[in-house]
Structure 1
Amino acid sequence: MHSFEGTAGRGTLLTFDCYGTLIDWEGGILAALRAAYPEAAAVDDERLLGEFHAAQNRLKTSEYRPYRRLLTETSVEVARANGWDTSDESAAGVPASIPSWRPFPDTNPALSRLATAGVTLGILSNIDDDLLAGTLKHFKVDFDLLGTAQRLRSYKPAAPHFERGREWAAGFDRWLHVAQSLFHDVVPATSLRIPVLWVNRKGESRPDDADPVHVAANLARAAEWLLPRA
């Protein structure tokens, strides 16, 4: 048995990536892009997401700016690549839609089980405070600790989010980071020797540079592995 298996309770800190792990990020961004740009309806999901990720990752390498601005600029880049309307006005609806994005069906039941067991819950997310505040209304539990891009002036996969988690963890018996994204969370966390549970929602192959302590298909399976057996 791994040291984390069946041990979650008081004294345990679990930090979560939010968008993609708890919230259906892909469903949200696809709907937002197609609402902003009617022409996007003719573009398949994989291509549209690929263009979005590529544009956003390029923009993240420059100086920090709020996520609302970053998401607007990313949307404009996608629009420019496809010959659509490139105005900020059209793109602004994409970040504005974030508070309406919904949790995955397994998110709230799993979080409720963990909170009932006494686990302390935190979020480490590439987001602005006001946008996260809208998202938090969808959860049926309270998060005790919040680490945002706005507060840290940085975006994962850079280290500051994980360093903040390590600071929080000093007051706990054990800490585990829980996330879906290999690029933003699993690979950088393991490179920093931070234990991470990979929520492999998309059934991706495990790369050589990722070393999670456990892989779960969804948050329900993750909670089953973490919580003590009856």
Structure 2
Amino acid sequence: MAKGFGDFRYMTFDVVGTLIDFEGGLVGSLEAIAREAGVPFDGEEALNLYRAARYMPDVQHFPDDLVRVYGVIAPKLGLPAGESHAQRLRDAVKDWRPFPDSTDALARLAKRYKLIAMTNAQRWAFEHFSRALGNPFHAGFTVDDTGTEKPDPAFFEQVFAFVEKEGGSREQILHVAQSQYHDIGISRKLGLTNCWIQRRHAQAGYGGTIEPERFTEPDFHFTSMGALADAVESRLVA
């Protein structure tokens, strides 16, 4: 029997790409460098190059890995090389902004659920993201805390252990994310109810996120966090 919003005690969230405008932040940061250098710039090309570079064998933790990534993609985009520009891209992450609907939606959802962040970003970056979002989280798990990245089941297992210590269970979790590869597919395999926030609904392809081997049909599907919060409020009596 399908679950309703009243069946959950927790909502777990991917952060970068779901709540924080990752593609807008990355493209905007690279575009600023291109503008200063006086070279043409294509945002979708940059995302495609980023995706390929991000998943090379020598990948490091995000966002420190942006220094390495810049060195890979800059020549292909005609951008100036050098450590200073690479470091500039990495440092710009602290100023990446939430999607316009994220902060309000999280504040509304926090009235009904315990919100837990699950991000492949490092702790230093998550602290900036959380502040930008209004610090709505009951708990936050980063790659520094877990020692691994989604879609590794071990990341999720640490969150399950935390919830169980509070007397909860994975059956009481709704996992909310935009990435089919990192979140929706693996959450289904682990028995979680999930909610796909399709941020790129008006665009083709997967942008800066790796394409999954197969598409997973989510339990809930919205194109924004605002739509999720609206649905929760409309279906639950205060």
- Distance 1:41-1:186 versus aligned 2 partners, 3 A rule: farther
In structure 2, relative to structure 1, the CA distance for the partners of 1:158 and 1:42 (3 Å cut) is farther
Distance of 2:103 and 2:222 partners within structure 1: 16
Distance 1:225 1:167, change over 3 A: farther
Q: How many residues are aligned here?
A: 223
Deviation at 1:128, TM superposition (A): 1.2
How far residue 220 of structure 1 moved from its aligned partner, in angstroms, is: 1.4
Name which of 219, 222, 228 aligns with 2:225.
219
Shift of 1:47: 1.1
1:18 paired with 2:12, answer: no
Within the candidate set 145, 152, 166, 1:151 is matched to 145
Q: Residues 219 and 195 from structure 1, CA distance in 2 versus in 1: closer, same or farther, beyond 3 angstroms?
A: same
Q: CA deviation at 1:83?
A: 4.7
| Residue correspondence of structure 1 range 111-150 to structure 2 within 5 A | 111-117=106-112, 119-150=113-144
Alignment partner of 1:77 is 2:72: yes
Between the aligned partners of 1:219 and 1:210, the Cα distance in structure 2 is: 19
Q: Displacement of 1:214 after TM fit? A: 0.9
Question: Following the alignment from structure 1 to structure 2, what is the Cα–Cα distance between the partners of residues 68 and 86?
Answer: 18
Whether 1:48 aligns to 2:46 is yes
Per mean C-alpha deviation after superposition, the further-off stretch among 184-193 and 121-130 is: 184-193
Are the structure 2 counterparts of residues 40 and 53 from structure 1 closer, same or farther at C-alpha, using a change threshold of 3 Å?
A: farther
SS of the aligned residue for 1:67 comes to coil
| Residue 40 of structure 1: how far off its partner (Å) | 8.6
Deviation per CA, 1:105-136, whole angstroms, max 9, x where unpaired? 1111211111122x101111111111111122
Q: Which amino acid is 2:175 matched to?
A: H
Which residue number in structure 2 is paired with residue 202 of structure 1?
200
CA distance in 2, matches of 1:217, 1:68: 26
Higher relative contact order structure (alpha carbons within 8 Å, sequence separation ≥ 6):
1
Q: Which amino acid aligns with 1:20?
A: G
Query: Unpaired runs of 5+ in structure 1?
Result: none
What is aligned with 1:35? 32
CA distance in 1, matches of 2:38, 2:122: 26
Q: How far apart, in 1, do the equivalents of 2:30 and 2:128 lie?
A: 19
Report the AA paired with residue 189 of structure 1: S
Whole-Å separation in 1 of the counterparts to 2:73 and 2:38: 10
CA contact (8 A) 1:33 1:94 kept: yes
**Alpha-carbon separation, structure 1, partners of 2:221 and 2:133:** 23
Q: TM-score, length-normalised on structure 1?
A: 0.85
Aligned mates of 1:136, 1:40 — CA distance in 2: 34
**1:82, 1:220 → 2: CA distance?**
35
Q: Deviations over 1:17-45 (max 9, x none)?
A: 11111111111001112234445962322
CA spacing shift, 1:34–1:141, aligned 2, 3 Å: same
With the length of structure 2 as denominator, give the TM-score of the two structures: 0.83
Indicate which of 168, 172, 197 corresponds to 1:172.
168
Unaligned runs of 5+ in 2: 206-211
Distance 1:162 1:41, change over 3 A: farther
Alignment equivalent of 1:229, drawn from 201, 216, 236: 236
The root-mean-square deviation of aligned C-alpha atoms, in Å, is 2.5
